[in-house]
A and B are shown apart, each in its own frame.
Chain A
């Protein structure tokens, strides 16, 4: 461990900026997973595979078709929205109907099946070669000795826009209110006349769109590859567990926390320590705050 580095303010600040950029990425990754769990109670193991599909969509639209990056990212999100809606309607919704209250375990198995299927499909169709882009945005700047890439700035701004947009959607739209109501009391929501099947489809599609768009946004960091989603799934799980299952905003904060820890650990410790430190943080959270750092309850729901 090289703690001496922490005596240099510029180095500390550089670690902070790097960690913030990285953490925002992790937060974005976890938000879709948290949204689907928070509303439907379903842990979507295909979350990483949806990210992978998002990276391929971005690559296809941006590189093969030559569409500008911002539009390609939106296309990736829209594509995953449609895929998520179709999968929920054709696979998950019938399962929920057949199994009643006991559908969740079967739902987990189904999403694991989806993960395996999508990864193998990508391998067959796209082959074992990665497809990426060098940069989303070229260039960087230096502020008081701290290097900031424009790409990180873009990711950060997008993250803020996504968080604010999702908050506004949930707060001010009829569908957003219905999603919140359904997550709290599905039977009472039905008594209001809300078709909760539609709400679940919209929620799953929205969670899928979030991770698909993030796949597009992060194509330069995570090039399209059949198993690229494995690391994303792991990171998403970590931020969701640390933040508190089902809490979308907590996932973002936990992502930033994770990014900062990772950045400082990488800076001062030898290679290999950073994953151990992250794992230790997760274990500590599970022991002392099993419901997550930002959950109001102490025990897991």
Chain B
């Protein structure tokens, strides 16, 4: 791993949708600031459930989740997110009847009473994505799929997070937009943020990942640097995905 200081440390995490049935089976992983950590695996391998367990959408049955040195195991998602973890869930997560600006303002919910900080974050988001500025009063459900994804990514970034968890950010996007999305993901890590990335585009995930974990049936069955796994990507796809 190229990074030194782990931002997220998960130890032997076990969780599931029913009390006695584990979907995630004793998974351990780390993600450090300034790096991209890839999670790959077939559909149903448990990658999304793993992220949900880290964030508290799924209550862990055992194991430990630490963020910036503090244990956050079983914290509610809103509490985890308020601590500085940003999460892009699978599928679209914009609030469709709210305007673009209202969506962005909700991204600053934990700091909503600090008007100066909210205004500054809003201006930064508009500087990075002028299309959002142009359409700031538009109902976000009327944006194209690509524009909605830009809105979601900028909304994630509003709170200045230390850790960003991305679940299928390129899903359903045209190739050009998907490429731009991956560029944005890389830019997050270059700014010192720890990024955990799940995506169907395994090759691209391994290309930009500093380290990656391969999931199968809720377990990590292989791990290594993105570069080393990339060399064997053909076999990984054939065997595990």
Which residues of A pack against B, CB within 8 Å?
174, 177-178, 180-181, 184-185, 187-196
Contacts and interface: CB of A to CB of B under 8 A. Distances in A.
Contact of A191 (B81, B96, B97, B105): B81
Nearest to B17: A100
Nearest to B165: A191
Interface in B64-118: 76-78, 81-82, 86-87, 89, 93-98, 102, 105-107, 109-110, 112
Contacts of B182: none
Given A190-B78, A192-B81, A177 B105 contact: yes
A178 B86 CA distance: 17
A177 B102 contact: yes
Given A187-B57, A188-B89, A191-B93, A181 B78 contact: no
Given A185-B95, A187-B57, 4 more contacts: A177-B98, A188-B93, A193-B110, A194-B109
Nearest to A180: B98
Between B81, B93, B106, the greatest number of chain A beta carbons within 10 A of the residue's beta carbon is seen for: B106
Interface of B: 55, 57, 76-78, 81-82, 86-87, 89, 93-98, 102, 105-107, 109-110, 112, 155, 159
Contacts of A177: 98, 102, 105-106
B97 A192 contact: no
Contacts of A194: 78, 106, 109
A187 B89 contact: yes
A173 to B, nearest CB: 10
In the A-B complex, the 3 residue pairs with the smallest Cβ-Cβ separation, listed nearest first, are: A188-B93, A190-B77, A193-B82
Contacts of B155: 192
20 contacts: A174-B109, A177-B102, A180-B97, A180-B98, A184-B97, A184-B98, A188-B95, A189-B95, A190-B77, A190-B81, A191-B55, A191-B78, A191-B81, A191-B89, A192-B78, A192-B107, A193-B81, A193-B110, A194-B78, A196-B78
Between A177, A191, A195, the greatest number of chain B beta carbons within 10 A of the residue's beta carbon is seen for: A191
Contact of B93 (A178, A185, A196): A185
